[in-house]
Amino acid sequence: PIDNVQVSVVQNLNLYGNKDEEPFLPYLPQFTTLVWNLLMTVTPHTKHDALATISIRFLSSLIGKMMHRKLFEGEGTLREIFGRIIIPNLTIREIDQERFEDDPAEFILSDMESSDTESRRKCTQELLRAMCRQFEQETTTICSEHVNQMLGQFAADKSKWEMKDVAIHLML
């Protein structure tokens, strides 16, 4: 379906962005906006995992390069990345909880330790690391605010353990 086509397009953009940058540079801001907007429409359902992970990888590869710094350097942009990409994709989903209940050891292996599988959470942590390398001060400030807010939500209501989980993953 359309999801597979979108994944293929973003994979190709990723290849152009990483391998043959020079002819691709004039189009990079438009493609970045398109991938960003596409990522905003992706649901947490597993059918969109491939599209989410490849889109997050595309943004990570751009953020990680000094030459593309201007595309992301505004604090508003960094805050939007946190609020609309990082936090939602680090939040544990119902399917993740079911995987944990079915096989905790396998879940931990795939989620926390290095494994061959791609997950939204892993790609999102790589995006966060790329942001830390390029925008250390701004990212640290924004991240600290989110961690404090989430830990405060958890402290006020212990049933909101997902907030604590996200706060922990922000620090990993």
Q: For the chain, give percent helix, strand, coil, nearest 5.
A: 85, 0, 15
The pTM of the full predicted model, rounded to 2 decimals, is 0.89
Q: Identify the three-state secondary structure at position 29.
A: helix
| CA 82/CA 122 separation, integer angstroms | 15
User: Backbone phi, then psi, for 85, in 5-degree steps?
Assistant: -120, -55
User: Backbone phi, then psi, for 72, in 5-degree steps?
Assistant: -125, 0
Instruction: Tell me the pLDDT band of 25, cut-offs 50, 70 and 90.
Output: confident
Summarize the confidence of residues 135-146 as an average pLDDT: 95
pLDDT tens for residues 50-65? 999 999 999 999 999 9
